[in-house]
Chain A
Amino acid sequence: GAGVSQSPSNKVTEKGKDVELRCDPISGHTALYWYRQSLGQGLEFLIYFQGNSAPDKSGLPSDRFSAERTGGSVSTLTIQRTQQEDSAVYLCASSSLLAGGPNEQFFGPGTRLTVL
């Protein structure tokens, strides 16, 4: 597809379960980002990948959160032992990171996670 895709679109889970959220970036985009959008909190940066490496993990809220990217393409965000405060929309974005240019990020439709 032409855009960033994310799956699942919606995920309902029970407290304490693990979840995996998937992001397929735009083909050829080297950079990939995860953000979290919580009610009343706006969008928070979680982690950034350049290729398969994650130079900036500063936004991950706890060690229950982890992410990986394989083949410079698909990324998975994993949340272990989910808590109710993890309920949010998780947005993925990708960028071609042109040198010296604006970092225009293209967003996917997000995954809405609900932890019961």
Chain B
Amino acid sequence: AQTVTQSQPEMSVQEAETVTLSCTYDTSESDYYLFWYKQPPSRQMILVIRQEAYKQQNATENRFSVNFQKAAKSFSLKISDSQLGDAAMYFCAYEDGSEKLVFGKGTKLTVNP
């Protein structure tokens, strides 16, 4: 079965600094998608960024970018110029056409002013 591991239960960053959240996954599939979701205290899960496994180019969305290493099965999220509104739980997720998302246990990000 596919598994997703987030090894950092908690992380903190100073406002305006850069932070990287780690994610590794295990799969025998060659085609799949990876996602980072943000969950603020309101509980609403919000998609931050996604990556198609067949694309070598790392996805970027404004201040958010990923470092996708397919061979290493690693999918880290980099947040640049961190803002107070970035404080939330961040979940890494995997999907391979089975329709369901497999999530990691999450990383709680604190942004210090």
Contact = CB atoms under 8 A, between A and B. Distances in A.
Interface residues of B, number: 23
Interface string A20-47: 0000000000010101000011110100
Contact of B43 (A45, A50, A89): A89
A42 B91 contact: yes
A99 B82 CA distance: 35
Interface string B79-113: 00000000000010001011111111110000000
Given A103-B33, A110-B43, A56 B99 contact: yes
A31 B43 contact: no
Contacts of A108: 44
Interface string A34-78: 010000111101001010000110010000000000000000000
Interface of A: 31, 33, 35, 40-43, 45, 48, 50, 55-56, 59, 89, 91, 93, 97, 102-110, 112
16 contacts: A35-B103, A42-B91, A42-B103, A42-B104, A42-B106, A59-B100, A89-B43, A91-B43, A93-B45, A102-B52, A103-B95, A103-B97, A103-B99, A104-B50, A107-B37, A110-B43
